[in-house]
Structure 1
Amino acid sequence: MRTRILVADDHSMVADGLGRIVADVADLLGAAHDGRELVEAATRLKPDVIVTDVEMPELSGIDAMRHLRMVGCTARFIFLTMHRSPELAAEALRLGASGYLLKEDAGEELLVAIKAVVGGRTYLTPRLTAHVLRQMAAPPDAVSTLSDRQRQVLRLVALGKRMKEIASELDISVRTVEGHKAQLMDRLGCESTADLVRIAIKQHIVPQ
């Protein structure tokens, strides 16, 4: 049986290109163009492998993976990104990704990564391996220890949403939102909302 793959990228041309690459070795189920669309498509189509960018609208690829893991999705995630950050790659792997490679290497290396993760192995681009292994040996940073709700609040604060808007979107009280924000400020060592925004951008929780 051929591997069933879902691809996700907020640029349609990139998503189409990925689809053409993987179609030679797998059944392409479709393409998503933001994090929420990825969650919906993965829940409905139940792919074996998801190839996704890290930085996307609505939800980052990493947050989409976290959400899908919570609802029992067992698809293997391969992150295909332009970001060379060892910290970001290490976080993705810690949270359950099976692969991480760079967009500039998409093509033959992506097919190698798909074969590896379908076989139950983890694939990490050789360009980053040494740096990522050192990063994973270090204690996790504060952002990687945030709960899903805290990451949701951080993302919405960084997008400029007001407390009432966040409360309405998450279906919680304004006081609860304020409490989460205070906890975020404390845990992340922030003195202002601007500091939270900078961290969210650096961690690719929201686009630059």
Structure 2
Amino acid sequence: MDARISPSYSHEKVENPSFLDLVDVFEDLWRNYIFSPVWLLLNSPHGDIAAMTILCSYFETIQSYMSGEDSNHRSKEFFIKGFCQVFHSESAGIEDAATAIYKHIRCGLAHEGMMTHKVNYSRAGAKAFFLTYPKNPNGSLNTHAGIASIILNPLRVYQGVEQHFKIYLGKLRTAEDMGLCQAFRQTAERLWAVGTGENIVGMSEAEYLGCA
């Protein structure tokens, strides 16, 4: 039975891996299992919602790799922090924006299969997201009232996520930040159970294929 840890690598790659072995597997997993299918969806009629369903997993995941911590029971926190890493802004409202996107896009897709009624999507916008707010009587934005709507450009989201991924990979491969590298190793070894061997399948290949 051909058991692989990623499209290009068998489990032998992580039996006693170097740091770059782990980076190779990480890159292979995300490029081939996530980004390639997302690109196909974005180039398919009506594929944007399915593409966003997959892409939303990046923010929580990348924060786990960058921090070296487990996101279990901390999904919202990790999503917001990861989103702010990808779509970095000096604006004080970026975390509020990330919180709204978590609620109306990520949770809508994860729990209801669709984004909430406050989300519109269009590829015409120059940015990945536009958030609108109610206005005060004097015409200023009332940012404390919560968002009125989110306008989402799935193609721009994909481009932003992929660009962040490339930059992150570059930092790992050059080992310019040892703290970042150590955090990555901790998460990779935990997620892939490095050193524990392949999963045990309690049947022969013939039994599995229904030939026994």
Q: State the TM-score, normalizing by the size of structure 2.
A: 0.29
Q: State the TM-score, normalizing by the size of structure 1.
A: 0.29
| Larger Rg belongs to | 2
More strand by share: 1
Q: Which has the higher contact order (CA 8 A, sep 6+)?
A: 2
